[in-house]
Every structure is written in C-alpha cells, then in structure tokens.
Amino acid sequence: MSVLANRRKFISTAVGAAGLQIVPRHVLGGPNHTAPSEKLNIAGIGIGGMGSHNLAQCAKSEQVTALCDVDHKYAGGVMNRYPDAKRFHDYR
C-alpha cells in the first residue's frame, strides 16, 4: 500500500507543478501587468518641447532611465517627473 500512496502523492504533486507552468502570466501577475524584465530602459533626448509628450507616451510601458536637454528652462519640469532618471544637459 505504501507504494500506491507514494505513486498517488507523486502524481498529485507533478500535476500541481505542471498546472503552474500552464497558467498564463497575466493570471499570476494581474491584468495589464508587465514584468520588469520585459520593459525597455529608454533615454529621452530633447525633452523640453514635443519631446516631453513623446517621452510621456513611452513611459507608460517602458522605464525612463536617462534624460537630456540643453535648455534646462524647458526641460526642468519634465526632469522632475522622473526623479530616478539620470540627468544630462549636454548630449555629446
């Protein structure tokens, strides 16, 4: 009997483990969840004018890691929205 009990336990454990492999990623991570490993690290260059809108659209699904603009007057507000991003004032 112990052999059957061990087989049953093994099969139930194997089926349970296989079930976790079949579950889609969005079920475990929640709806519209993107894993950090699937996000791109992007840098915004020329973010003062229209670049701020473009950057905001990209930041919805990607991670902003660096910002650059030669005119701090226009880019200051955008740089404050991304405090973790590295800041540059010269693109060379």
Task: Name every residue whose Cβ is closer than 8 Å to that of residue 74 and which is 6 or more positions away in sequence.
Answer: 48, 49
Tell me the pLDDT tens digit for each residue of 47-56: 888 888 899 9
Question: Does 6 share its domain with 21?
Answer: yes
**Stretch 28-49: mean pLDDT, rounded?**
77
- Report how many domains make up the chain: 2
23 against 52, higher pLDDT = 52
Question: Does 18 share its domain with 59?
Answer: no
Question: What is this structure's pTM?
Answer: 0.59
Distance CA 36, CA 38 (A): 5
Distance CA 87, CA 92 (A): 13
Question: Does 7 share its domain with 19?
Answer: yes
Residue numbers of the domain that contains 15: 1-33
Question: Does 64 share its domain with 19?
Answer: no
Question: Does 39 share its domain with 67?
Answer: yes
Question: Does 52 share its domain with 15?
Answer: no
Average pLDDT, the chain: 79
pLDDT value of residue 26: 58
Q: Please check the confidence at residue 71 and state whether its pLDDT lies above 70.
A: yes
Q: Please check the confidence at residue 15 and state whether its pLDDT lies above 90.
A: no
* 55 neighbors 44 (Cβ within 8 angstroms): yes
* 62 neighbors 39 (Cβ within 8 angstroms): yes
